[in-house]
Chain A
Amino acid sequence: MSPERLDGQRGPVDNEEALLQLDSVSRIYPVTRVRALDQVSIAVSAGECVGVVGESGSGKSTLARVAVALERPDTGSVRFDGLDLGTLGGSELRRLRCEFQLLFQDSIAALPSRQTVGRTLREPLLAHRRPEASDPELVARWLARVELSPELEPRYPHELSGGERQRVALARALVLEPRLLVADEPVSSLDPSVRERILHLLVRLQRELGLSVLLISHDLSTVARMASRTVVLDQGQVAEEGPTDLVLRDPRAVATRRLLDPPTTSRVG
């Protein structure tokens, strides 16, 4: 099935300038034989924010994991800055991971429960032997950057609120100064007021750091806040893609309409 594109073209995006390029990526889970991704092609250019929306089970989280090489696609390729991630060896891939990071939905699960905030923020730099790791101001600087008090440095994740944890997770993802951030439902587990502030922070940091962002959400309004382009996933396939305002204003795919006007009995998770 060819995705609907609202820029007048049909078929997958082909962007030679893309920082991240997923080409005809398919991912089938071996035991359940569930086809989580089916011939998905997405490109994210430098400095661009691309939104990916879809209902529960549409393949969004698998896409996030494949995009940052936590899972390998069964077919197709994932290229970062022209490098095919599938062809890289373990140490090459580990080095390249500084360039792209994943922000998880559930920060209490994603942050190491037995490390303090300070240790958590220093660890990526220590692991990559970056000289900044020994900078005594590093943690306070990054905490300030995500609008947190430096007093949180000795705290453990379970001693923080949900919003504080997500900010710490964001700081950890950005401390290596990646060029691409894949944010998988970064605000969906937060209260509406906290959600708004985190989204505001994400927008600010994207602008300040010139980040490319692949923003994954089930909520079109979240994506509309940040993404210039939006891809709609439905059952592992790209159902529609195009400029976000056009996708919102004139949805063509059934999946997009369902997201815009969900039936009360089948609200997405």
Chain B
Amino acid sequence: MRLELRCSLALLLLLLLVAVAAPWLAPLDPNQQVDPAAARLLPPGSTRYLIDEGARTLAAEQLSPDQSEYLRLGSWRSVSDSAPQPRRFWLGTDRYGRDVASRVVYGARASLRVAVATTLVSLVLGLLVGGIAGWRGGLVDALLMRMADALFAFPQLFLVLAAAALWSTGELAIVVILGTTSWMETARITRSEILRIRGTDALDAVRGLGLSPPRILTHHLLPFVLPPVLIHTALRVGDIILIEASLSFLGFGIQPPNPSWGNLIAEATDVLDRAWWVAVFPGAALTLTVLAFGLLADGLADRLDPRRQG
């Protein structure tokens, strides 16, 4: 197996493990606001002493040597009942004092779920529509491609907002809405690949051998159609996560305080000049995911094309 395919599978497995094991990996509850006044926008690696005071948790900057007093917001106070617990915020905190590491880990769940499900919906629809249009040609092709053009003509965000306003705002709704409004490019690529292959001797040769249409489709069309489609799809994963973020920002999709990488990045825009880490870590996770899918697509394309195997 080629190096890039191995790397991509390892990365995706790692991301999947992080998403599945989020409750065990996340240091804190992702929505817990740890003392917003004293622990907001802490840089990565900061340590605070958490003091449980029943209804609220306080974050102290420092403890006295005998641990009977703590320093918070410039003043020393006595420790009451519970002993202060040191807590390091590896990736810092956001403006509400929430742990960025916990939010990034939990954000992987929602983001990957939405991105993968949406990508699958658009991939299946795009392959179907493009495949039928390219294979049947004529009026069917013209009708399907005009439909795709009409959907292309509208900005996707507008379509998504219209659909979301008319329907629902849950995660499933977002998957269906994003999936059904992002298949057109896949359909275009599929159609053009099929049109290209249809006119070749290779396809006439297998037709002449008496191969059934399903066998021609699976053995002689899909191996050519899939590589460009997969590469395009992999690159779309990042777009979908960001569109989901826009939707969340506009009040649809995954609603704050529940984290997704998209809404973490969106929320970070106001504090980017003071707290780079709030955007950079979810951004890095997103980049890593897109890279993993991109490598996977490239590796699969190589696997499907013996001419690209060195």
Provide the A26-45 mask, 1 if CB < 8 A to any CB of B, else 0: 00000000000000000000
B210 touches A70 (CB 8 A): no
Known contacts being A156-B307, A158-B307, is A113 close to B210, with CB within 8 Å? Answer: no
Hey, which chain A residues are within 8 Å of B220, CB to CB? 112
B202 within 8 A of A: yes
In the assembled complex, how far is the CB of residue A206 from the closest CB belonging to chain B, in whole angstroms? 19
Q: Is A101 touching B208 in the complex (CB atoms < 8 A)? A: yes
Identify whether the interface residues of B are mostly helix, strand, loop, or mixed.
helix
Contact assessment for B205 and A110 in the assembled complex, using a CB-CB cutoff below 8 Å = yes
A114 touches B305 (CB 8 A): yes
Contact with B along A84-126 (1 / 0, CB 8 A): 0000000101111110011010100111111110000001100
Which of the candidate stretches B158-166, B211-219, B265-273, B292-300 sits at the interface with the other chain? B211-219
> Chain B: interface residue count, which band?
20 to 34
Q: A112-B220, A114-B304 are in contact. Are A124 and B205 (CB under 8 A)?
A: no
Most chain-A Cβ atoms within 10 A of its Cβ — which of B204, B205, B207? B205
A113 touches B202 (CB 8 A): yes
B74 close to A (CB within 8 Å): no
Question: What distance in Å separates the Cβ of A23 from its nearest Cβ neighbour in chain B?
Answer: 21
Contacts of B215 in A (CB 8 A): 127
Look across to chain B and name the residue whose beta carbon is closest to the beta carbon of A172: B209
Q: Shortest Cβ distance from A90 into chain B, in angstroms?
A: 8
Contacts of B205 in A (CB 8 A): 102, 104, 110-112, 169
Are the C-beta atoms of A70 and B209 separated by less than 8 Å? Answer: no
B209/A112 in contact, CB under 8 A: no
Q: A114-B305, A116-B306 are in contact. List 12 more A-B contacts (CB 8 A).
A: A68-B208, A98-B210, A104-B205, A113-B202, A114-B304, A114-B306, A123-B211, A124-B209, A127-B209, A127-B215, A169-B205, A176-B209
A-B contact pairs, 7 of them (CB 8 A): A94-B211, A97-B208, A101-B209, A104-B201, A104-B204, A109-B201, A114-B224
